[in-house]
């Protein structure tokens, strides 16, 4: 048995906000943002677009890819049929349609017509897709009878940042990425190992306050009049998150390689969470990994949290840069604090 990613998709809002656009309104500059983060632009959803809308678009693209592989009927009909084959929808997000309930995954399930799928959201910050893949692998176990999962990372971060805080608002963007994951039964027909090889997941809850939305939950519920002031927004201790990120990325890469008993030379591509190019560069330098091994698209999308890794996978996949048999590593970290990584034979 193997757990394989058979299709990918992404949704990027058309509205592009460059560093220069921000510098026209805030005390910042393109040079500062680029040199401190690697970000050049971010994409911002219009006000009618919610998390589930981007998730739906990314999911549809992935379903159409499966439909094309299976090659029957017209595109819409195909996609609808493929949606019916989904057994579970897992959606990682920090910016759901609704606070608490219902899950955004249930909204997506309905709009896709995926009537046979269970649906749940996971809250693992920017590690959401990495956690989601491993949860999918667990749910698709042989005993379960389930065969196909849709794993999505989707975020509308622009709605939860303080646009007057130059230290925060420059960092984030909106977007969604999706992958369809399938349990295949006959790996003996192909290479000895395939699909999701290994996952590391971890958390350090002592860092909860380093990246947090203080208001709106049961700890600090809204009170009458609250919404007249500052809207709910994410707050961050940037230095603490930076240090955690470099350490967790470095250790997770080392541990994935050691546990699988392989060297970095065997890995074709590392697809890191796109939070700050300097985090990736610092970890790469510590481990002696050439920068080209890491795929970075942060310059165009900024940090899209749980969406950043599936967006990157879809870009690479559609550009033909992920060949069958390539060993791919994902690496991420985020609010919680959480961290993790997957090793996948494409």
Regarding 170 and contact with ligand COA (CB under 6 A), the answer is: yes
How many residues lie near ligand COA (CB under 6 A)? 20
CB of 167 to ligand COA, least distance (A): 4
96 Cβ partners below 8 Å, 6+ apart? 51, 103, 104, 121
Q: Which of 239, 258, 263, 324 binds ligand COA (CB under 6 A)?
A: 239
Regarding 164 and contact with ligand COA (CB under 6 A), the answer is: no
Active site residue 297: no
The residue range among 6-14, 30-38, 174-182, 197-205 that interacts with ligand COA, by the rule CB under 6 A, is 30-38
Q: Which of 210, 233, 276, 303 is catalytic?
A: 303
Q: Can you read off the two tokens belonging to residue 153?
A: 């990372």
Q: Can you read off the two tokens belonging to residue 27?
A: 């005390």
The residue range among 33-41, 87-95, 188-196, 253-261 that interacts with ligand COA, by the rule CB under 6 A, is 33-41
Q: Can you read off the two tokens belonging to residue 278?
A: 């300097």
**Distance (Å, whole) CA 161 – CA 230:** 10
CA distances from 154 to 68, 69, 251, 333 (A): 24, 25, 26, 16
Strand partners, 156: 174
3-state secondary structure at position 253: helix
Q: Which is nearer to ligand COA, 30 or 260 (CB)?
A: 30
Regarding 198 and contact with ligand COA (CB under 6 A), the answer is: no
The residue range among 38-46, 154-162, 163-171, 288-296 that interacts with ligand COA, by the rule CB under 6 A, is 163-171
Q: Which of 137, 149, 245, 246 binds ligand COA (CB under 6 A)?
A: 245
Active site residue 273: yes
Regarding 98 and contact with ligand COA (CB under 6 A), the answer is: no
Active site residue 303: yes
Q: Can you read off the two tokens belonging to residue 1?
A: 């048995």
CB of 1 to ligand COA, least distance (A): 33
Regarding 316 and contact with ligand COA (CB under 6 A), the answer is: no
Angle at 212 between CA 211 and CA 214, to 5 degrees: 155
Strand partners, 329: 270, 343
Q: Are 68 and 121 in contact (CB under 8 A)?
A: no
CB of 114 to ligand COA, least distance (A): 29
Q: Is 238 exposed, middle or buried (0-12, 13-18, 19+ CB in 10 A)?
A: middle
Peptide bond into 102 cis (omega under 30): yes
CB of 48 to ligand COA, least distance (A): 27
**Distance (Å, whole) CA 136 – CA 149:** 6
Q: Are 198 and 341 in contact (CB under 8 A)?
A: no
Regarding 36 and contact with ligand COA (CB under 6 A), the answer is: yes
Q: Which is nearer to ligand COA, 54 or 170 (CB)?
A: 170
Q: Which of 43, 126, 317, 342 is catalytic?
A: 126
CB of 126 to ligand COA, least distance (A): 4
The residues binding ligand COA (CB under 6 A) are 28, 32-33, 36-37, 126, 166-167, 170, 211, 236, 238-239, 241-242, 245, 275-276, 303, 334
Looking at the annotation, which residues are catalytic?
Answer: 126, 273, 303
């Amino acid at each position: 048995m193997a757990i394989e990613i058979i299709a990918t998709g992404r949704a990027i809002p058309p509205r592009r906000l460059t560093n220069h656009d921000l510098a026209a309104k805030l005390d910042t500059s393109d040079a500062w943002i680029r040199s401190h983060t690697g970000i050049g632009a971010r994409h911002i959803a219009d006000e009618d677009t919610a998390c589930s809308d981007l998730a739906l678009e990314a999911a549809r693209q992935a379903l159409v890819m499966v439909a094309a592989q299976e090659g029957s009927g017209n595109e819409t009909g195909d996609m609808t049929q493929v949606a019916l084959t989904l057994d579970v929808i897992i959606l990682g997000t920090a910016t759901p349609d609704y606070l608490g309930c219902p899950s955004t995954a249930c909204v997506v399930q309905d709009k896709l017509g995926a009537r046979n799928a269970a649906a749940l959201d996971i809250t693992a910050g920017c590690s959401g897709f990495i956690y989601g893949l491993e949860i999918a692998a667990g749910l698709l176990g042989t005993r379960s009878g389930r065969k196909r999962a849709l794993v999505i990372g989707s975020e509308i971060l622009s709605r939860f940042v303080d646009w007057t805080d130059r230290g925060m608002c420059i960092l984030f963007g909106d977007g969604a990425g999706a992958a369809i994951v399938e349990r295949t039964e006959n790996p003996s027909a192909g290479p000895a190992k395939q699909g999701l090889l290994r996952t590391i997941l971890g958390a350090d809850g002592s860092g909860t306050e380093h990246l947090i939305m203080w208001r709106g939950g049961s700890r600090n519920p809204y009170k009458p009049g609250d919404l007249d002031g500052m809207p709910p927004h994410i707050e961050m201790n940037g230095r603490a998150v930076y240090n955690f990120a470099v350490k967790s990325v470095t250790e997770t890469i080392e541990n994935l390689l050691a546990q699988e008993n392989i060297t970095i030379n065997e890995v074709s591509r590392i697809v890191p969470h796109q939070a700050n190019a300097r985090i990736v560069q610092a970890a790469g330098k510590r481990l002696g990994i050439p920068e080209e091994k890491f795929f970075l698209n942060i310059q165009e999308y900024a940090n899209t949290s749980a969406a950043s890794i599936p967006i990157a996978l879809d870009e690479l996949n559609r550009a033909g840069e992920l060949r069958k048999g390539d060993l791919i590593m994902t690496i991420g970290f985020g609010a919680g604090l959480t961290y993790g990584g997957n090793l996948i034979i494409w």
